[in-house]
């Protein structure tokens, strides 16, 4: 079974631009969550989608948004990029309902975003 | 709200030595606990999880962890380190029901010397 696929692997953008990242979950997984990983803040939860609905959102500004399609694929968008948005963005999918709390996350290899 | 503390941002061991990576959590309700491993330029991979079935949990690659409620700990161990174990290790906690936001520790970098 194919794993979680994230595209692109690397992105370089300029301050003020916007960016869209894509995530294809493991087949059959209905939950997709997004994380920002930086050396300073570690791994932080952005938001989670389940059956095309946003179920949870972390403490990030509204510039960070996402959506999920009927095939469970998900996109994350960041508008008006800032230098501090430079990070590794990870997507994870899980099989069970996220409210169960015990479904392990299956991560993609991430998208490395650099904002200059 | 839950939180996770991983003691030691770096742990250095010799090949063949015991690996011990520490994780303490705080939670108002019984938590679910996980250990993940991250190799360079890759995402996180599940090592093992605790979901209240047994306090000693065995994972992949010879790792295991013991849940100790009295100490609010979930330390990760491996009897004999291998060079291929060098990676970043993350402890994570989630709570069942309600607002589900997984919380990760800051990570521990395991360095294995030949």
Predicted confidence at residue A98, as pLDDT, reads 60
Burial class (CB in 10 A: 0-12, 13-18, 19+), A89: buried
**Residue (of A7, A21, A5) closest to A85 by Cα position:** A21
Cross-chain Cβ contact A110/B100 below 8 Å = no
Residue B97 pLDDT: 54
Which of A56, A99, A110 lies closest to B97 in CB terms?
Answer: A99
What pLDDT is stored for residue B56 in this prediction? 93
Q: Which residue of A has its CA nearest to B106?
A: A42
Which residues in chain A have Cβ-Cβ distances shorter than 8 Å to B96? 99-102
pLDDT tens digits for range B46-105: 999 987 778 899 999 999 999 998 899 999 999 999 999 999 999 998 875 555 678 899
Confidence band of B109 (pLDDT split at 50, 70, 90): very high
Give yes or no for A40 touching B (CB within 8 A): no
**A101 and B95 in contact by Cβ < 8 A?**
yes
Asked if the Cβ–Cβ distance from A102 to B32 is below 8 Å, we say: yes
- Going by pLDDT thresholds of 50, 70 and 90, the confidence category of residue B32 is confident
Q: Where are the beta strands (DSSP E) in chain A?
A: 5-7, 10-13, 19-24, 31-38, 42-50, 53-57, 64-68, 74-78, 87-94, 106-107, 111-115
Residue B100 has a pLDDT of 66
Distance from the Cα of A77 to chain B's closest Cα (Å) equals: 20
| B44 in reach of chain A (CB within 8 A) | yes
Task: Give the closest of A56, A99, A102 to B51, CB-based.
Answer: A102
Mutate to test the interface with B, among A21, A23, A42, A54 (most CBs of B within 10 A): A42
Hey, is the C-beta of A80 within 8 angstroms of any chain B C-beta? no
CA distance B82 to chain A (A): 23
Residue among A4, A33, A56 whose CB faces B99 most closely: A56
Model pLDDT for residues A53-105, shown as the tens digit of each residue: 998 888 999 999 999 999 999 999 999 999 999 999 999 999 876 666 677 88
- Residue A44 neighbours by CB distance under 10 Å: 17
pLDDT in tens, A2-30: 899 999 999 999 999 999 999 999 999 99
């Amino acid at each position: 079974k194919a794993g979680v696929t994230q595209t692109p692997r690397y992105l370089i953008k300029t301050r003020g631009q916007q960016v869209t990242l894509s995530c294809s979950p493991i087949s059959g997984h209905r939950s997709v969550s997004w994380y920002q990983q930086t050396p300073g803040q570690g791994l932080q939860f952005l938001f989670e989608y389940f059956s095309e609905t946003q179920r949870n959102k972390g403490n990030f500004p509204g510039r960070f948004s996402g959506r999920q399609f009927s095939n469970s694929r998900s996109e994350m968008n960041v508008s008006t990029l800032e230098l501090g948005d430079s990070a590794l963005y990870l997507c994870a999918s899980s099989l069970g309902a996220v409210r169960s709390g015990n479904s392990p996350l299956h991560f993609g290899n991430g998208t490395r975003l650099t904002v200059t | 709200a839950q939180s996770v503390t991983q003691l030691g941002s770096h742990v250095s061991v010799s090949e063949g030595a015991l690996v011990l990576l520490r994780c303490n959590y705080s939670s108002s309700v019984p938590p679910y606990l996980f250990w993940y491993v991250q190799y360079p330029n890759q995402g996180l991979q599940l090592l093992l999880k605790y979901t209240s079935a047994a306090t000693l949990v065995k994972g992949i690659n010879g790792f295991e962890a013991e849940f100790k409620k009295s100490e609010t700990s979930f330390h990760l161990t491996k009897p004999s380190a291998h060079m291929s174990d060098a990676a970043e290790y993350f402890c994570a906690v989630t709570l069942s029901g309600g607002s589900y936001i997984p919380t990760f520790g800051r990570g521990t970098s395991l360095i294995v010397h030949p």
